Amino acid sequence: MGINLLKKCFKKSNEKSYLFISLKDCIACGYCAEACRRDVLSIYWESGSPCAVIEHPERCSGCGKCVQACVFSAIEIIKK
């Protein structure tokens, strides 16, 4: 499974929003995955390094609980 840094997460009206995880800042602590009640995020080992992965973007409601749970500010909800 490859890591997608930017996946379409949810859509409201005509705006597109995305969940973004910075691999530079993510330490794979798992707080984001624990905070998400919809099981959008998971922790995976990729090339010997753990990182948070957006596994089920279609489940994301945009609540921001994962953003709040991330101590290192590695997760953002980006509106385009």
How is the chain split into domains, by residue range?
Answer: 7-79
In the chain (80 residues long), the average pLDDT of successive 10-residue segments reads: 45 64 89 94 80 86 93 87
Distance spanning both ends of the chain, measured CA to CA: 26
How far lies 54's CA from each of 13, 14, 48, 58, in Å? Answer: 22, 22, 18, 10
Tell me the whole-structure pTM to 2 decimals: 0.77
Domain 7-79: which topology? Alpha-Beta Plaits (3.30.70)
What is the C-alpha separation between 16 and 30, in angstroms, rounded?
A: 26
pLDDT tens digits, 43-53: 887 667 788 88
H or E stretch covering 75: strand 75-79
H or E stretch covering 67: helix 65-69
